[in-house]
Structure 1
Amino acid sequence: MFLFDTYVAPSAIHGLGVFTREAIPRGRRVWEYTPGIDHAHTAAEFERLPPRAQRFLKRHGFHDTRTGYYVLGGDFDLFSNHSADPRHVNLVADGSDPNPISAALIASRDIPAGEELLADYREWDRYADEKLTRL
């Protein structure tokens, strides 16, 4: 779940995106797995889902390469977009986060209010390349 006020708006990257309403300083925790809002599935649970649900989770969630969990954000995270350009990426995984479900995301630089939040999916999502070929 995002830890500050966000909104969804048209994105120059792809369709709709998530934007911040407030300035975020570099290093601030921006997103973390929040039980009751976000959903996590083990590999066994994922395999028991119907094929349509598996496709949805792969497309709109992520398979955490660190923990092996399939995670689906329960807030505007569903609208998060990818950028491979390091000049545009402003969220990175917090490698020191001990959460057993999924690492938190932190601001990799100061982010002004109104900027779209972008991450390089390949940093933590096992299905990033598959997603990116469909964009």
Structure 2
Amino acid sequence: MIRVKTYISHSSIHGIGLFAGEPIPQGTVIWAFDEPIDQRYTPADVAKMTPLMKTFLARYAYCERGTLVLCGDHARFMNHSPQPSCGNDPTRRFTLALRDIAKDEELTDNYSTMEDSWEPFAGIIEPERME
């Protein structure tokens, strides 16, 4: 669940994005997994889902340690950037501000370093590719 003030708005990166509602100092925890708001799905869970549900997960979930993680809040609108403002802590339990982030700046993450391979879901669901 998001730990800082944010809002969603039009993104020049990809449709809708997540933006800082206040200045965020470097090192601040931006997001952490909190059930029941955030959810994890195993390959067996996803295999039972409808195509529409799989399409939603392919767009908004990310793979971590053999499960799909779906952020239940606006964190799912964080877009990809090769020069991200946010990233994982070494334990991968939190998303942190990698540098000072200005109010109204879009929060971004590097999907290729944030998530694991979708291999456990091969043949069940295909991830949406970065643009």
SS at match of 2:69: strand
Does 1:96 pair with 2:91? yes
1:79 has 2:74 as partner:
no
Equivalent residue for 2:102?
Answer: 112
Aligned-partner residue type, residue 31 of structure 1: W
Q: Secondary structure at the residue paired with 2:19? A: strand
Inter-partner Cα distance in structure 1 for 2:35 and 2:15: 28
SS in 2 for 1:131: coil
Partner of 1:32: 32
The offset of 1:52, in angstroms, is 2.3
Could you tell me whether the CA contact under 8 Å between 2:58 and 2:127 is conserved in 1?
Answer: no
- Name the SS of the counterpart of 2:129 in structure 1: helix
More displaced 10-residue stretch of structure 1: 43-52 or 67-76: 43-52
Query: Following TM superposition, by how much is the alpha carbon of 1:131 offset from its aligned partner in structure 2, in angstroms?
Result: 2.0
Q: 1:22 to 1:118 in 2, by over 3 A?
A: same
Structure 1 pair 129–70 and aligned structure 2 pair: CA distance change class (3 A): closer
Secondary structure of the equivalent of 1:110?
coil
1:18 aligns with 2:18: yes
Identity %: 33
Calculate the TM-score normalised by the size of structure 2: 0.84
Amino acid at match of 2:47: E
2:66: which partner in 1? 68
Q: Which runs of 5+ in 2 are unaligned?
A: 119-125
1:130 CA displacement: 4.2
Count of aligned positions = 123
**TM-score with structure 1 setting the length:** 0.82
Counterpart amino acid of residue 124 in structure 1: M
Deviation at 1:83, TM superposition (A): 0.8
Aligned Cα RMSD in Å? 1.8
2:111 pairs with 1:121: yes
1:31-63 residue CA offsets vs partner (Å, 9 max, x unmatched): 111101111112221222223212211211111
